[in-house]
């Protein structure tokens, strides 16, 4: 792979290109594909679900974020509806500093917190995605959240891109 990555317009399995990242890939780098959504960022990574989930948990800590909740949607849907779906987890993430700053600007912003990182099985890999805080916090129009949103977006992007390209 070259130093620069191509723009990817849709998620695909199999041969793909890298995602930008500042760290060197791990010994066995994952193949990944990046997609920008209207409301988030999405990677398909050539990693097992268990490996990707553990790596996301580790990278959340590396980015000074906190995992405050986790939902196993596969188990939940099996228990509640008796349906089988591929593995799917939702991870609720906070940054104490950013939460404090957000609530200092507007006490009602707790309605938008925490933010989520989602992983689910797809083909021979795992989808890893997160909300785009810039788009998400636009609902709180005029509250001075631009800087905070950019900081949180950078941390979330680092979590999912580092996992997708095999840094962790």
**DSSP assignment of 83-128, as one string?**
-----EEEEEEE-HHHHHHHHHH-GGGGGG-SEEEEEEEETTEEEE
Query: Quick one: pLDDT band at residue 78, thresholds 50, 70, 90?
Result: very high
| Domain 32-165 superfamily per CATH | TT1751-like domain (3.30.310.70)
- State pLDDT tens for residues 96-128: 999 999 999 989 999 999 999 999 999 899 999
Instruction: Tell me how far apart the alpha carbons of residues 85 and 144 are, in angstroms, rounded to a whole number.
Output: 40
- pLDDT tens digits for 16-65? 334 444 444 444 445 778 878 888 999 999 999 999 999 999 999 999 99
Percentage of the chain with pLDDT > 90?
66
Three-point CA angle 25, 65, 42, nearest 5° = 55
Lookup result for tokens 């991870």: 91
Query: Over 70: is that where the pLDDT of 166 sits?
Result: yes
């Amino acid at each position: 792979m070259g130093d620069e990555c191509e723009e990817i317009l849709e998620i695909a399995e199999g041969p793909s290109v890298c995602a930008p990242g500042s760290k060197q890939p791990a010994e066995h780098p994952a193949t990944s594909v990046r997609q920008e959504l209207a409301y988030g960022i999405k990677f398909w990574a050539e990693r097992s679900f268990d490996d990707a989930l553990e790596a996301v948990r580790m990278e959340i800590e590396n980015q000074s974020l906190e995992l405050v909740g986790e939902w196993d949607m596969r188990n939940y849907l099996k228990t509640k509806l008796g349906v089988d779906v591929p593995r799917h987890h939702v991870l609720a993430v906070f940054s104490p500093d950013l939460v404090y700053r957000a609530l200092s600007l507007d006490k009602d912003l707790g309605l938008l917190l925490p933010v989520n990182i989602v992983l689910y099985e797809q083909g021979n890999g795992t989808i890893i995605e997160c909300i785009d805080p810039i788009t998400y916090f636009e609902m709180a129009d005029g509250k001075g959240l631009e800087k905070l949103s950019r900081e949180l977006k950078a941390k979330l992007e680092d979590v999912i891109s580092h996992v997708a390209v095999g840094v962790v």
